[in-house]
Structure 1
Amino acid sequence: MFSKLKFLLRYMHKYRWWYTGGIFFLVLTVWISVTIPGFIQKTVDLIAGGRAGNEEDFTQNVLIIVGLAATLILVRTFSRILIFFPARLIERKLKGEMFNKLASFGKAYYDQNSTGTIISRVNNDINGVRMITGFGILQVGNILLSLSITPYKMWEMSPALTLYCVVPMVLIFIVVRIGMRVMVKNTRRKINTLQNLSGKIISFLTGNNVIKSYNIYGHAEEKVHKQSLSYYDATLKISWIRSFIMPLLSNLGQILKIIIFFAGGMYVINGQFTIGELTEYIAYAALLSYPVMGLGWVLTVFQQGFVGISSIQTIMERKGVDDERVPLPAAEKNKLFEEGIHIQKLNYTFHNGDRPVLKDISFSILPGQVVGITGKVGAGKTTLVNCINAYLRPEKGQVFFGEKDAATLRAEDIRTVVKTVSQEVFLFSDTIENNIGFATEKGIRADRFEEVIYKSAMADELSRFPRHGKTMVGEKGIMLSGGQKQRISLARALYTPGELLILDDVFSAVDTNTERFLIQHILGNRSVKSIIVISNRMSVLEKTDFNIVLEEGRMVAKGNHHDLLKQPGFYRDILTLQQTKQ
């Protein structure tokens, strides 16, 4: 509990003056609320007296009540603005920090947590924090002030009648507290089930084409239905408890009125109370019942919010892969690739693997060189380049940028000089222009945009689009073909300058003519200083300075195109196969 309160205070402290102002207006709200019944008592007694000459006092009391009521509306509005607004700012800040934290995690985290679980934490759990820091704080202040000032006013009027009112309130509070404990247990279950359900739905929507292709609708429906039933069961139990607790709280005011009418009515008959005083006491009882009703909501908000905070803390307290690495100064960052990249006896094992997928690989890439990497499916080609671009982090002493060990460098520093066009192309649901200029903080330059579009062989097709560069590509680029998505991703990498460009099988989704064009303008004209290209196409590999052949994670051959053709093995076999197909 202490760690959760400390977590909240860390964010609320920044907006302490907002909350101070909100509490100030909340005090005014409660003070005005308990002041109005006194004038109501005087007004009712004037009516009950029915004496001529009291009209002026009656009018004055009514005007005071109206004025206080209007002021009450104003100060109550200010109290809510000053408390709710920082809660929204905390929500925004927390979402930004959560995104930055999630972006700092490596492959291991995303292998263990589904997209749906992460989205549920970002949306639902942070929403719980907003409710605590907004509605929760407001209600806590309102309850504390109302339950201190209002009972005092009631006690001044009649201690015995006040005790009659306290007894049912205490009994109802005990019942509510027991119900809340059961509700918290089911709230945790509901949140966990919602995370699993979100993960399943996103997974099945993403793989919708696979589900259609293999006609496994029943399997997908059964999985979602099972999670939905679990979520329904937890929600129903919460609703059952609330359907019992909330009527108790909402009818508390009626219960108090019955007690007051019975006991207070006897006071009026016996001459201990006037009609006006009874009316004043009923007004105080109404003011007292609302905070107690709000207490149930506050307990729910805090219980659900604390469950969400526990989930958030598991993310915020986890270390990112670069948290302990020191960022390079700008001058050193710009010189990172001056002496090239040196791989020395590289071995790599995935976090959930039991054997190395890369074994004893050594080579160097110097500025200005074009290097090809080839091999069978599963040979370790993508894993190798991901060790270079810091998507994967090998141990110390294996990958060097000049004399700097890559294991000591931050990933963002490495990626300022190394750009990657991966096999799995991702486009944002935005325009082609914004997808290409995504990595730059400045606006899109028309001349630069046209240049990279031409070099990536998209100029002709872009001219046929109705809105050209303003064309929306849809979710994950669904409006485009595989080749078009690949070339837009390539244009994105060319638009943002870098020292080393990694092309991971980017020519697989394009036709022969487009491939020839790309080879000429990217490999032939050297659009960037150095290039690593993963491909099994000889038309690409023959343009490189040297090629590396991988087999089962080992480098079995290295040399230029002509040298490798003289050696028996995969490289020569793949050339023979491609010539046969032609």
Structure 2
Amino acid sequence: MLAKLKFLLYYTHRFRWWYAGGVVFLALTIWASVTIPEYIQKSIDIIAQGRAGNEDQFYQYVAIILGLALVLIIVRTFSRILFFVPGRLIERKLKGEMFQKLSSFGKDYYDDNSAGSIISRINNDINGVRMITGFGLLQIGNILFSLSVTPYKMWAMSPTLTLYCMVPLVVIFIIVRTGMVVMVKNTHLRMDALQRLSGKTVSFLSGNGVIKSYNIHKWAENQVEKENVSLFDYTLKISWIRSFVMPLLGSMEQILKIVVLFVGGLYVINGEFTIGELTEYIAYAALLTHPIMGLGWVLTVFQQGFVGISSIQTIMDRKGVDDLKPGLPTEEKSRLVHQGVSVKNLNFTYHNGEGPALKHISFDIRPGQVIGITGRLGSGKTTLINCLNGYLKVPPGTLYFGQKDASELRGHDIRSAVRTVSQDVFLFSDTVENNIAFGAGLNLEEEHLQNVVYRSALADELGRFPKKEKTMVGEKGIMLSGGQKQRISLARALYAPGQLLILDDVFSAVDSDTERFLIRQLFENKVASSLLIISNRMSVLERTDFTIVLEEGQMVAKGTHEELLRDSEFYRETWQVQEGGRK
């Protein structure tokens, strides 16, 4: 509980002046609310007297009531603005900080947490924090002011009648508090069920093509239905509690009116109260019920919000993979690969792997060199390039950029110098030009864009699009072919090139003519200081300075095209198959 309160204090303290203004206007709201019944009492007593000549005083009281009502509208509006706006600002800030935090996590976190679970935390849990820092704090202030001023006014009029009113309030509060304890438990379970349902929904929507191909709609529907029913059960339990608690709170005003009318009516009959005073006391009783009713909502908001905070804290309290590493100055980042890259006896095991994915890998990349990597499926090619680009964290002393140990560098600093075009292409639902300029912060330069489009073999195809570079690619590039998506990804890397450019099987989805054009552009134009190409295409590998052959995570051969034809059986067989196909 203390950790959650510190969490709330950390964010609300930044907007303390908003809340301070809200408290002032909230106090004015309560003052106006408890003052109006006094003048209502005086007005009714004048009416009850029925004496001529009291019209001016009656008009004065009515005017005061109207004035106070107008003040009440204004101050109540400002009190809500000054509480609700910081709640929204905290929501925006928290979402930004959470996204930044999520960006700092490594592969192990995303292996253990589904996208749906993360989306649920960003939307539902942060919404709970917004409700606490907006509506929740407003109601707390309203309750504290109301329960301090209103009971005082009631006690001043009749201590005995006030005690009669307290009895049903205490009984109802105990019942409500018991119901809230059960509600909290089910709210925790509901949040877990919602995260599981979100995860399965995102997973099945992303894999909709596979579901259709294998005709497993029924299985997918059953999986979603299972989580949906679980969510429904927990939500229904919460609804049952609310359906009992909320009407009980809503009936509290009527219960108090009955108590006041019965006891206060006897006071009027016995001459201890006037009709006006009884009316004033009923008004105070009505004012008292609103904060008590609000207390029920506040308890719900805080219970759900604290569940959300617990979920958010699992993210915000987790250390990012690079949090403790100092960042490099801009000048050093720009020269990170100038002295080359050295891999020294690299061994790498995934956090959930049973054995090493890479074993005893050693080679050097010098400035100006073009290096090839080839091997069978699952031989460790993608793992190796993810070690080079800082996505996977390598052991100390196994990877160097110049004289700097990669294990001591931030992944962001490494990727500022090392650009990767992966085989898993991802495009944003935006225009072609924005997808290309994404790596350069969407800083569009028309001449440079056209040059990159040409070098990526996209010029002719974009020319056939009605909107050319401004064509929308759709969700994940659904409007484009595999080859077009791959070349847009290549254009993105060429638009904002790094010192070392890694191309992971970028020729797999293009025809032979396009492949020859791209090879010529990459080799004849200096697209980066050094180039690392992962491919099984001999037309590419025969032009590299040297090629590495991987097998089961080990480097089994290294050399030029001619040397590998002589020394590597896999390389030689691959060349023979491709040469046979050409003939």
TM-score range, shorter chain: over 0.9
Match of 2:576, SS? helix
What is the rounded CA distance, in whole Å, between the counterparts of 1:470 and 1:581 in structure 2? Answer: 39
What is the rounded CA distance, in whole Å, between the counterparts of 1:544 and 1:579 in structure 2? Answer: 18
- Could you tell me which residue of structure 2 aligns to residue 174 of structure 1? 174
Q: Is the 8 A contact 1:116 1:196 kept in 2?
A: yes
- Could you tell me which residue of structure 2 aligns to residue 431 of structure 1? 431
The 5-angstrom pairing of residues 68-217 of structure 1 reads: 68-217=68-217
Match of 2:364, SS? strand
- Could you tell me which residue of structure 2 aligns to residue 240 of structure 1? 240
- Could you tell me which residue of structure 1 aligns to residue 406 of structure 2? 406
- Could you tell me which residue of structure 2 aligns to residue 369 of structure 1? 369
Change (3 A) 1:381 1:497: same
Encode CA deviations 1:244-288: one digit per residue, 9 max, x unaligned.
Answer: 000000110000001111111111111111100000000000000
Displacement of 1:578:
1.2
What is the rounded CA distance, in whole Å, between the counterparts of 1:308 and 1:127 in structure 2? Answer: 8
- Could you tell me which residue of structure 2 aligns to residue 504 of structure 1? 504
Encode CA deviations 1:505-553: one digit per residue, 9 max, x unaligned.
Answer: 0100111111111001012323222110000010111111110000111
1:514 aligns to 2:545 (yes or no): no
The amino acid across from 2:508 in the alignment is: S
Q: Is the 8 A contact 2:186 2:237 kept in 1?
A: yes
Displacement of 1:333:
1.3
What is the rounded CA distance, in whole Å, between the counterparts of 1:286 and 1:568 in structure 2? Answer: 90
What is the rounded CA distance, in whole Å, between the counterparts of 1:90 and 1:568 in structure 2? Answer: 60
Match of 1:80, SS? helix
- Could you tell me which residue of structure 1 aligns to residue 51 of structure 2? 51
The 5-angstrom pairing of residues 310-329 of structure 1 reads: 310-329=310-329
What is the rounded CA distance, in whole Å, between the counterparts of 2:454 and 2:516 in structure 1? Answer: 14
The amino acid across from 1:160 in the alignment is: T
Match of 1:437, SS? helix
Encode CA deviations 1:405-445: one digit per residue, 9 max, x unaligned.
Answer: 00000011111110000011000111111111112236300
The amino acid across from 1:550 in the alignment is: L
The amino acid across from 1:283 in the alignment is: A
What is the rounded CA distance, in whole Å, between the counterparts of 1:535 and 1:203 in structure 2? Answer: 30
What is the rounded CA distance, in whole Å, between the counterparts of 1:287 and 1:484 in structure 2? Answer: 67
Match of 1:345, SS? strand
Displacement of 1:331:
1.6
What is the rounded CA distance, in whole Å, between the counterparts of 1:206 and 1:198 in structure 2? Answer: 12
What is the rounded CA distance, in whole Å, between the counterparts of 1:451 and 1:74 in structure 2? Answer: 60
The amino acid across from 2:175 in the alignment is: V
- Could you tell me which residue of structure 2 aligns to residue 333 of structure 1? 333
Match of 1:531, SS? strand
Count matched residues: 582
- Could you tell me which residue of structure 1 aligns to residue 26 of structure 2? 26
What is the rounded CA distance, in whole Å, between the counterparts of 1:322 and 1:482 in structure 2? Answer: 34
1:569 aligns to 2:545 (yes or no): no
1:219 aligns to 2:213 (yes or no): no
What is the rounded CA distance, in whole Å, between the counterparts of 1:568 and 1:536 in structure 2? Answer: 13
- Could you tell me which residue of structure 1 aligns to residue 289 of structure 2? 289
- Could you tell me which residue of structure 2 aligns to residue 391 of structure 1? 391
The amino acid across from 2:444 in the alignment is: I
- Could you tell me which residue of structure 1 aligns to residue 473 of structure 2? 473
Displacement of 1:580:
2.2
| Cα RMSD after superposing both structures | 0.8
Displacement of 1:330:
1.4
The amino acid across from 1:188 in the alignment is: H
Encode CA deviations 1:119-166: one digit per residue, 9 max, x unaligned.
Answer: 000111111111000000000000010001000000000111101110
Match of 2:374, SS? strand
What is the rounded CA distance, in whole Å, between the counterparts of 2:503 and 2:316 in structure 1? Answer: 34
The amino acid across from 1:465 in the alignment is: F
What is the rounded CA distance, in whole Å, between the counterparts of 2:322 and 2:258 in structure 1? Answer: 66
What is the rounded CA distance, in whole Å, between the counterparts of 1:21 and 1:236 in structure 2? Answer: 39
What is the rounded CA distance, in whole Å, between the counterparts of 1:48 and 1:523 in structure 2? Answer: 102
Displacement of 1:459:
0.6
Match of 1:373, SS? strand
Q: Is the 8 A contact 2:32 2:68 kept in 1?
A: yes
The amino acid across from 1:535 in the alignment is: S
Displacement of 1:353:
0.8
What is the rounded CA distance, in whole Å, between the counterparts of 2:513 and 2:43 in structure 1? Answer: 94
Displacement of 1:477:
0.7
Q: Is the 8 A contact 1:524 1:543 kept in 2?
A: no
Match of 2:141, SS? helix
What is the rounded CA distance, in whole Å, between the counterparts of 1:294 and 1:414 in structure 2? Answer: 53
Q: Is the 8 A contact 1:431 1:469 kept in 2?
A: yes
The amino acid across from 2:565 in the alignment is: L
Displacement of 1:581:
2.4
- Could you tell me which residue of structure 2 aligns to residue 360 of structure 1? 360
What is the rounded CA distance, in whole Å, between the counterparts of 1:391 and 1:159 in structure 2? Answer: 71
Match of 1:416, SS? helix
What is the rounded CA distance, in whole Å, between the counterparts of 1:309 and 1:201 in structure 2? Answer: 24
The 5-angstrom pairing of residues 257-268 of structure 1 reads: 257-268=257-268
The amino acid across from 2:474 in the alignment is: G
- Could you tell me which residue of structure 2 aligns to residue 415 of structure 1? 415
Match of 2:137, SS? helix
Displacement of 1:568:
4.3
The amino acid across from 2:228 in the alignment is: S
Stretches of structure 1 lacking an aligned partner (at least 5 in a row): none
What is the rounded CA distance, in whole Å, between the counterparts of 1:357 and 1:523 in structure 2? Answer: 31
What is the rounded CA distance, in whole Å, between the counterparts of 2:394 and 2:333 in structure 1? Answer: 20
What is the rounded CA distance, in whole Å, between the counterparts of 1:551 and 1:264 in structure 2? Answer: 92
Displacement of 1:27:
0.3
Displacement of 1:338:
1.1
Q: Is the 8 A contact 1:419 1:493 kept in 2?
A: yes
The amino acid across from 1:478 in the alignment is: I
Q: Is the 8 A contact 2:557 2:568 kept in 1?
A: no
What is the rounded CA distance, in whole Å, between the counterparts of 2:451 and 2:239 in structure 1? Answer: 60
1:446 aligns to 2:446 (yes or no): yes
Q: Is the 8 A contact 2:434 2:442 kept in 1?
A: no
Identity percentage of aligned residues: 67
- Could you tell me which residue of structure 2 aligns to residue 271 of structure 1? 271
Displacement of 1:468:
1.1
- TM-score, normalised with respect to structure 2: 0.99
Q: Is the 8 A contact 1:423 1:506 kept in 2?
A: yes
Q: Is the 8 A contact 2:432 2:470 kept in 1?
A: yes
Displacement of 1:329:
1.2
The amino acid across from 1:579 in the alignment is: E
- Could you tell me which residue of structure 2 aligns to residue 455 of structure 1? 455
Match of 1:428, SS? coil
